[in-house]
Amino acid sequence: MKDLTVGNSSRLIFLFAVPMLIGNVFQQFYNIADSIIVGKFIGKEALAAVGASFPLIFMLISFVIGVAMGSTVIIAQYFGAKDMRNVKRAMDTLYIFMFFASLLITLIGIVFSKLIFKLINLPPDILPLAVTYFNVYVAGSIFFFGFNGTSAILRGLGDSKTPLYFLIISTVTNIILAILFVAVFKWGVTGAALATVISQGGAFITAVIYLNQYHEVVKFSLKNMEFDWGIFKKSLQIGLPSGFQQTFVALGMLAVMRIVNDFGTNVIAAYSVAGRIDSLAGMPAMNFGVALSTFVGQNLGARKVERVKAGFRSTLYMSSALALFTTLVVVIFPRSLMSLFTTDPAVIEIASHYLVIVGTFYVFFSTMFVVGGVMRGAGDTLIPMFITLFSLWIIRIPMAWIFSKHFGYQGIWWSIPVAWFTGMCLSYLYYLKGNWKKKVIIRPVPVAEETE
């Protein structure tokens, strides 16, 4: 656990974000490893199928993950206020919610996957592969939610290192199993999905065993769990806007995928592969934003508003520097990056254009996410939700559709940085307005004064 209410703000946020960043990079390697192995050993149709599955996977899990963000903020604020009894109750409530949510997601996903893929006009040569990969993947959602719930709890407590160790082991296991199942056993996309499910399950089970033995606060026990409706309502108060935001973002991804699908297998495969690099490039901003949310939650719980502002400024500088570095790498070496996934020259060419266009503007995404981190940590999630939905549904999707009619698939690529720029500007204007300062959810318990 780490108390983020005292000490140097920049150093604390950096040291908190880096293990989380490394961990999430390794988590992204789940998807990247699947794509590389599938692309190399099966072909571009399977590569496109795996890529087409992820918007649907994201759509199904996004609402639950968004609601879980509310629990992370609650835990951070209770921990900042030194109210350990309610920290434990919030943890139990999150675990119970995630368990039942995972069962529901598995049922809905398996029943409706084929119908949804047809609705977004997935080409016939990709459809069966996408359904197979998706159904195996979503069957293991209980492990995905379990591990991510544990990670969310630890982040709220200021511990970003512990999940990293299990993610590294899990990622290495995933790569080994994917090579074994796909390249050796020839199980196709089923093997790639199964490798991911087994790896996620191993990460969750190992983390629970370790935490029960060695962690001071996090003790996973089915016998002693209690669901607190009051805390759950507070979590929903913060998390519902995030949940709806994540859901509509996921639906937006499906809408964009529908536009992309009209251009055929090569463009679908290129979009899917470039999206893997995009996700990896966005990791620094996302993790600095999450680190800042925990920092803000703890410090608002301790009523230290000026410290929150200082933390925001330092986080913005650090994330912007990393975004500019990532832009240089992606724009200079797009074809080299794409050749890791496929040898198909048409797919490499299309994906390289995507990276040059979108990668040039990573700093817009970085700034937008860090500004949002302040609001999420404060529990002010409603207006940021509307900003995100406006940028996606009013700016990006209509532009993608209109531009694709005039400029082909490259018009879709240009809609992305325009939407980022819009979201960045609106988010920063709302930050300057300052309403987030009044949104702290919990009431602090009396504690002795501390000096920084």
Integer Cα distance of 381 and 384 in angstroms:
5
Residue 208's alpha-carbon distances to 27, 84, 95, 152, in angstroms, are 18, 20, 12, 13
Which token pair is 350?
């299309």
Q: Which of 295, 340, 281 is nearest to 35 (CA)?
A: 340
What pLDDT, on the 0 to 100 scale, is given for residue 141?
A: 92
pLDDT at 162 over 60: yes
The model's pLDDT over 378-395, given as tens digits with 9 standing for 90+, comes to 877 788 888 988 999 999
Q: Are 114 and 174 in contact (CB under 8 A)?
A: no
382 versus 37: the higher-pLDDT residue is 37
36 versus 446: the higher-pLDDT residue is 36
Which token pair is 32?
């990247």
Which token pair is 146?
């379990």
Q: For 38-55, b where at least 16 C-beta lie within 10 A, e where not — what string? A: bbbbbbbbbbbbbbbbbb
Integer Cα distance of 100 and 116 in angstroms:
23
3-state secondary structure at position 265:
helix
What pLDDT, on the 0 to 100 scale, is given for residue 446?
A: 46
Integer Cα distance of 79 and 217 in angstroms:
11
Quote the pTM value: 0.71
Which token pair is 432?
């300057």
Q: 17-26, 276-285, 288-297, 308-317 — which is least confidently predicted?
A: 17-26
What pLDDT, on the 0 to 100 scale, is given for residue 357?
A: 95
Q: Which of 111, 75, 89, 13 is nearest to 322 (CA)?
A: 13
The model's pLDDT over 249-274, given as tens digits with 9 standing for 90+, comes to 878 888 998 999 999 889 998 998 89
What pLDDT, on the 0 to 100 scale, is given for residue 47?
A: 86
Q: Which of 357, 372, 373, 354 is nearest to 423 (CA)?
A: 372
Domain ranges of the chain: 16-438
The model's pLDDT over 318-375, given as tens digits with 9 standing for 90+, comes to 999 999 999 999 999 999 998 888 888 999 999 999 999 999 999 999 999 999 888 8
pLDDT band for position 133 (50/70/90)?
A: very high
Which token pair is 103?
């069962």
Query: 305: how many CB neighbours lie within 10 A of its CB?
Result: 16
Which token pair is 407?
């400029």
Q: Are 178 and 192 in contact (CB under 8 A)?
A: yes
- What whole-number percentage of the chain has pLDDT above 70? 95
